[in-house]
Amino acid sequence: MKVSYCIYGASGHGKVIIEILENSGKKVNLLYDDDVNKTRLLDYNVNHDKQVFILPEIRWIVGIGDNVIRKKIVENNRLNYGVAIHSSSQISKRTQIGIGSVVMAGVCINSSTIIGEHTIVNTSTSIDHDCIIENYVHISPNATLCGGVSVGEGTHIGAGAVVIPGIKIGKWAKIGAGSVIIRDVPENATVVGNPGRMINRAK
């Protein structure tokens, strides 16, 4: 039986995942959402019955952009996860991409980089060699990560941000759109500006 895909979350992010899968010739079987008011997304009906979780030969992708919610869904639902990679992306054969992750159009990922599970690498992002991106990260459109950067679990990197080589960003940090990160970022910190400055650190 040919593997098909289901998306958990009938949202705008879910729309993008649908089109990534369609573009790469993969079959989208159905969508699921906890919100019973969501009934249709693009050309697909939205299901609300968790019985669909036991369908055979299905790969799931969580179509939720919020890192906290995405992690909670994954931890609460033992599903068989796949990956969605746009055909226009350029990915080194020596890069590893974890289950549940999404790589969008125009992305470039260079040699020996590791992308964790359930991570979003958004449109036209550039990730250079030897980066380590942990689980549940979201790297927004047009961000640039230079070589040897590490990004901790759950961190959100804003659109157009630039991270210079060798920087370490801790878990659940927030990097503002357009920021230029020239020094390490501790976990739970919010950093904005050029050069990046910490404006908050959650406990």
- Determine the pLDDT at residue 43: 87
- Taking CA atoms, 75 is separated from 69, 91, 110, 181, in Å, by 10, 28, 30, 31
**What is the topology classification, in CATH, of domain 84-194?**
UDP N-Acetylglucosamine Acyltransferase; domain 1 (2.160.10)
**What is the topology classification, in CATH, of domain 4-76?**
Rossmann fold (3.40.50)
Tens-binned pLDDT, residue by residue, of the chain (203 aa): 567 899 999 999 999 999 999 998 888 988 999 999 999 989 889 999 888 888 888 899 999 999 999 999 999 998 999 999 999 999 999 999 999 999 999 999 999 999 999 999 999 999 999 999 999 999 999 999 999 999 999 999 999 999 999 999 999 999 999 999 999 999 999 999 999 999 877 76
Q: Which residue, 61, 63, 62, 38, is CA-closest to 48? A: 38
Among the listed residues 48, 129, 138, 156, the single catalytic one is 129
For the chain, the domains span 4-76, 84-194
> Is 63 in a helix, a strand, or coil?
coil
- Determine the pLDDT at residue 200: 78
Please confirm, yes or no, whether 138 is among the known catalytic residues: no
What is the rounded (10 degree) CA torsion for 163, 166, 170, 173?
Answer: 0
> Is 183 in a helix, a strand, or coil?
coil
- Determine the pLDDT at residue 80: 93
- Determine the pLDDT at residue 102: 97
